[in-house]
Structure 1
Amino acid sequence: MSVTLTDLPRIVRQLTPHISTADTLPSLCGIYLEADGTHLYAAATDRYTFALTRRETAETEPWTALVTRPDLTALRALFPTRRRPADLTLTHHRGCTRTPDGMLTIGDGTRSLSLSANAALARSFPKWRPLFATALAAEPHQDTEALYNADFLARWAKAADRHQPLTTWSAGPGKPLLIAAGPDFLGLHMPVRASDHKPDAPARQRQDRAALRTVWADTLAPAPTRRLKAA
């Protein structure tokens, strides 16, 4: 059950910013992999942002795995992102008595890395299909302000190639921001909850569009046209 990828380091780079750092949520502390027979999916989330990408593959039996942070460090060391794209073979080995969680082998023909597939953790990864299906089905609609954490927005810098734009939609201020980078990368970005920001919250936390128009009116007003006087 092998899959050949030319850009596995890029997939890792796209998803790493979204991996949870909470030790209490071990199933979120890595990159989730899932093969369904036609695609290999890779995903990561810390519940605030959720990144998903896919690659077409030859037919293979379905399997799932979770590559933890320490294993990703080993993977980056062996196959650094600065190297030119190269075919990497990702092979999933089902669990047995000696390795009940299954194994993953990643190699380029000369070097190889063996990792646990962490099957138990993979089974606890969030069900991503209904989340993304709901977000894609929702019609874009936003007629009031939405609040987003700036640090979390920076995570999407790794999603796209250089000069590739991100496309975004939102079904409303309380709904996740849907992000696309090309046809094979999707993201969800949860807004800051409005309940966390009271109507009388300081302006530095919650901005009102009408109030901003007022305070910026003088600055943004058209400059007066100077007319020359007749001699």
Structure 2
Amino acid sequence: MSVTINAHQLGRLIDKVRGHIGNEYVEVLHGIRLDVDATHLHAVASDRFTVAAARYRLNADEQGQEPWARTIPAAWLTPLRAWTSAHGGGDTITISTEPGYVVFGTGHTEIRIPVTDDQEFPNWRSLLTRIAANIPTKFTFPAVDSRMLARWADTDDVLRVHVTTDLTALMVFGEDFIGAQTPTRYTGVGSSGKSTFEEAFAQWPTLDDNNEALADMSTAMPVDDKRRYNPADTIPDMVEALLQQTLRSTSDLLGAPSEDPGAMASFALAGVNSWSAYRFLDALHKADPRLAAQTVAELAEELDAGDYSETAWEIAEKAGHDPQKWSDDYEAHLKKLAEKRASSVAAEAVR
């Protein structure tokens, strides 16, 4: 099983979908899927929230072959892309499969990438077909310049988008933001420059309409295998979590038994820290929304990694503090509390 493609087109396939690769906690999505059907070579990627597929039409003598698919692991994409770029854009690259490998080769060199032959991947054809089924086939819709879409990234907001009609501006709304983007005239399907969804979707005849496919992204994608604690990674989620923890800690404090000062202190400290974190986040968001969003996202990654305690220790040392003394003092404090509690229990027993 093999197909050919020139180096330029292979590089484009990789680049078009690479930004949609899932993280390492979802192994089946942590890479790019090469999927060959009777007419096209596809590169597909998904991060569970987006799915992207790019295609390249096979040469006539390569069409009609038995379909096959393999996932190129994310770790191999950088060397594969570098190897591809080292060739002239017009150089022919043959992509073939062997047990446990996908082989990319020219007449002079090759790169062999280890893969899992029977690794599964979401049924992206059926998934996209089911999503498309919700769009009226006669719907006329605007075309937008994908390079301009990146300009909305600096709004630091979760944006809502309203698609109007063909050749009419796209409306964009954020919490404290509003905008519009002028469409571009589409010159592909239809000589008039207009295109209905039916015309556009017809250009993908190899997508199927499997009625047994799962209906939406939330259920069709594999489960994230990372630890079950999911830290907030957006400002609205973080604000909700901090305020919720503040109120929950206050409730726990009021309900804590008075004879357990340790529990009362823990609840009080949790409430104080949550409220303090909220106030700092609120101030940072007002002063620099972009930095606030970046900080929350980075914090979520640090909490998810679970090594923030070691990092805090290193930061404390670099700042001139003695974290070992802090640890020793705290252990001594806990020992005193335990001794005091034991003494109190013994006194009660004597009475």
What TM-score, normalized to structure 1? 0.55
Q: Does the residue aligned with 1:9 lie in a helix, a strand or coil?
A: helix
Aligned mate of 1:132, from 114, 128, 131: 128
CA distance in 1, matches of 2:185, 2:25: 32
Alpha-carbon contact 1:39-1:55 (below 8 Å) kept: yes
Q: Deviation at 1:37?
A: 2.8
Q: Does the residue aligned with 2:118 lie in a helix, a strand or coil?
A: helix
Matched, 1:20 2:22: yes
Partner of 2:3 in structure 1?
A: 3
Matched, 1:79 2:92: no
Question: Runs of 5+ in structure 1 lacking a partner?
Answer: 96-101, 142-148, 154-164, 168-179, 185-189, 191-195, 199-203, 206-231
Task: Tell which has more relative contact order, 1 or 2 (C-alpha 8 A, sep 6+).
Answer: 1
Which has more strand, going by share of residues? 1
CA distance in 2, matches of 1:166, 1:27: 38
Q: Deviation at 1:86?
A: 2.7
**Count of residues in Structure 1 that have an aligned counterpart in Structure 2:** 150
Question: Runs of 5+ in structure 2 lacking a partner?
Answer: 140-151, 160-183, 187-199, 205-216, 218-236, 241-285, 290-351
CA distance in 2, matches of 1:80, 1:17: 18
Q: Deviation at 1:108?
A: 2.0
CA distance in 1, matches of 2:131, 2:90: 32
The Cα offsets for residues 15-71 of structure 1, whole Å up to 9 and x where unpaired, read as 1100012x2201100001122232222200001111012222213222110001121
> Which residue identity is paired with 1:8?
L
Alpha-carbon contact 2:73-2:115 (below 8 Å) kept: no
After superposition, the Cα gap between the structure-2 partners of 1:18 and 1:92, relative to the gap in structure 1 and judged at 3 Å, is: same
Q: Does the residue aligned with 1:104 lie in a helix, a strand or coil?
A: strand
Aligned mate of 1:115, from 92, 113, 119: 113
After superposition, the Cα gap between the structure-2 partners of 1:53 and 1:110, relative to the gap in structure 1 and judged at 3 Å, is: same
Q: Does the residue aligned with 2:17 lie in a helix, a strand or coil?
A: helix
Alpha-carbon contact 1:32-1:67 (below 8 Å) kept: yes
Alpha-carbon contact 1:9-1:81 (below 8 Å) kept: no
Alpha-carbon contact 1:104-1:117 (below 8 Å) kept: yes
The Cα offsets for residues 109-131 of structure 1, whole Å up to 9 and x where unpaired, read as 1110011232233x1x1111121
Q: Does the residue aligned with 1:47 lie in a helix, a strand or coil?
A: coil
> Which residue identity is paired with 1:126?
P
CA distance in 2, matches of 1:47, 1:82: 33
Matched, 1:32 2:30: no
Identity, in percent, stands at 33
Which has more helix, going by share of residues? 2
CA distance in 2, matches of 1:71, 1:117: 10
Alpha-carbon contact 1:75-1:113 (below 8 Å) kept: yes
